[in-house]
């Protein structure tokens, strides 16, 4: 193998399947998710919906406002980021390189999962057959948390189709994308020239 499974850079002689910059990036993203000051902990502080308009105005509608930010809640609740990380821990455990996440609060479960994944990260980057999928899932979770804690709306994603048939969901400011199906890498200009995917494929 001559290219990185996560970004398709050409590998150096001392790199196996993942380049060093990708390993560093994924490790940093994992680290930023955990801990009392981490992105996951910050989600609970952002669950209240942002105020809009004058505080003295009363809406003409009698419908009660949604009490929480649903996007942040879906990330923080069971089935969100904690479940994503725990699923990877369980997967790595089948290779003998992790211990399933114990009980506790969701924050404790997330911290335990992050610690386990970071401890075994070098092995996974070098040998796990699905490391590309892992790296992309961590990036998506990290990006979603950053978006919610920053209070900025997520950029609109546009479905485009790779020649292999796989649908890529891109943003207009993307630096480039790698198709997880055929591993073809597209630069910013190249990916924007791909045809729009059919609606039912998005």
Query: Model confidence over 80-116: pLDDT tens digits?
Result: 889 999 999 999 999 999 988 778 898 999 999 999 9
The pTM score is: 0.64
Query: Model confidence over 137-149: pLDDT tens digits?
Result: 999 999 888 887 7
Contacts by 145-149, CB closer than 8 A, 24 or more apart: 145/33, 145/39, 145/40, 145/42, 145/43, 145/75, 145/81, 146/39, 148/43, 148/46, 148/69, 148/71, 148/72, 148/75, 149/39, 149/42, 149/43, 149/45, 149/46
């Amino acid at each position: 193998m001559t290219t990185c499974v996560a970004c398709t850079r050409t590998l150096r002689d001392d790199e196996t399947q993942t380049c060093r910059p990708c390993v560093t990036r994924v490790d940093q993203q994992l680290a930023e998710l955990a801990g009392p000051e981490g992105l996951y902990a910050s989600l609970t502080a952002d669950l209240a919906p942002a105020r809009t308009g004058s505080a003295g105005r009363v809406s003409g509608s009698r419908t009660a406002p949604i009490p929480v930010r649903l996007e942040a809640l879906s990330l923080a609740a069971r089935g969100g980021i904690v479940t994503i990380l725990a699923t990877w821990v369980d997967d790595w455990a089948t290779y003998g390189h992790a211990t399933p996440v114990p009980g506790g609060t969701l924050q404790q479960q997330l911290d335990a999962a992050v610690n386990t994944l970071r401890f075994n990260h070098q092995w996974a980057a070098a040998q796990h057959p699905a490391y590309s999928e892992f790296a992309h899932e961590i990036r998506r979770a990290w990006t979603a948390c950053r978006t919610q804690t920053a209070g900025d709306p997520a950029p609109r994603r546009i479905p485009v189709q790779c020649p292999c048939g796989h649908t890529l969901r891109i943003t207009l400011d993307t630096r480039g994308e790698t198709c997880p199906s055929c591993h073809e890498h597209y630069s910013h200009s190249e990916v924007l020239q791909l045809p729009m995917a059919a609606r039912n494929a998005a």
